[in-house]
Each structure stands twice: as C-alpha cells, then as structure tokens.
Amino acid sequence: MAKPKVAFYWCASCGGCEETVVDLNEDLLKVADAVDIVFWPVALDFKRKDVEALGDGEIAVSFINGAIRTEEQEEMVKLLRQKSGLVVAFGSCAHLGGIPGLGNFWTRDTIFQRVYQEVPTVENPEGTTPQEKTVFDFGELTLPEFYDTVKTLDQTIPVDYYLPGCPPPPDLILNAVNAILAGELPEKE
C-alpha cells in the first residue's frame, strides 16, 4: 500500500513551527516511515516544480505554517491547496496572523522606511530597499511582491483543520498525524 503523501511549507513566521516538527525526536522517524514527504523545502531539497508535477489532490495533507505576506507565499499555498486533499493551518501565524500580523498596523512603505533606513544599526546611505526587479550588467534579479497587508491562511485558501500554538506542541502534532494516518479526523464544521 502506498504511503500517504505529506507536504510542509513555511510562509511568514519565525521558524518555530518547523523546529517543533524536529522536536518530535525519535517519533519523527516513525512519522517519516509512515508517510512520503513530497515537499518540505526548509529541510529537504524540493522545488516548486516537484509540487506542480503532482496530480490534483495527490498530497494527502499539507501542513502550512506562517502568515501570507508575499506573492510567492500566496502562489505556493494556492498550489498546495490544489494538490492536497487536506490543508492544516499549522501554528498561530497561519491561523491568526501571529507576530507577522502586527505588520498590518503599518504600510509596506512605512515598514521599509523603518527597517532599511531608520534603524540605528543600519548603514544604508543609498537608501536601498527591496525591489521586485533589479537589472545588473550580468542579468536581472526578481523578488516576489511584498504585500501591504498580512493575511491568515484561511483568508487566502480554504483550510480544513487548525493546529494551534506558537508553535504547536510536539504531542499535538503527533496526535494530528496519527489521527490522519488512522482516518480518525474530527468532523469539520
């Protein structure tokens, strides 16, 4: 019998949700034996094209942490939604916006002004800020659009389940994975 395919993706967050997966310790090995991890770019060498090559709904579950702040994050979570049977909002940032959500108190331009020009430890006499496109003699550099507002995962795509916490505790993650593997998920409201 084929193992269920699982994906992990990291959007705007601190990285604690990725770390708590590692905090499963030896249980992580049991999870890795029970599933086929098909996308986890922070831990393994996967690319967007790997997800694009999968059939719609082929991923059993995608665990997505972090809020949505950039064009790239929005595109990836929409692609993962299309390719996944279930999507889990993994952690407080995906669920409620978390610390990145505090950015909604300021505009993108105000944030860039503060971070790249006004912070006392920054030396930036040219006033350089991230640009979506920069042309050099050797080629072109592009960056995803940095949105003016932060969105939660369920403001961007339909979400099936939520794993709360900052980060979610390892026992909650393990219980969720076991429930998915056993087909014992709670009813969706």
Contact 146, 106 (CB under 8 A): no
Contact 81, 160 (CB under 8 A): no
Tens digit of each residue's pLDDT (9 = 90 or more) over 113-163: 999 999 999 999 999 999 999 999 999 999 999 999 999 999 999 999 999
Selected residue with higher pLDDT from 65 and 2: 65
Which tokens sit at 150?
A: 């932060």
Global pTM value: 0.92
What pLDDT, on a 0 to 100 scale, did the predictor assign at position 179?
94
Beta bridge mates, 68: 151
What pLDDT, on a 0 to 100 scale, did the predictor assign at position 79?
99
What pLDDT, on a 0 to 100 scale, did the predictor assign at position 147?
96
What is the percent of the chain where pLDDT is above 90?
89
Other Cβ atoms less than 10 A from the Cβ of 166: the count is 16
Tens digit of each residue's pLDDT (9 = 90 or more) over 80-104: 999 999 999 999 999 999 999 999 9
Contact 73, 11 (CB under 8 A): yes
Tens digit of each residue's pLDDT (9 = 90 or more) over 35-47: 999 999 999 999 9
Superfamily grouping for domain 5-107+149-182 = NADH:ubiquinone oxidoreductase-like, 20kDa subunit (3.40.50.700)
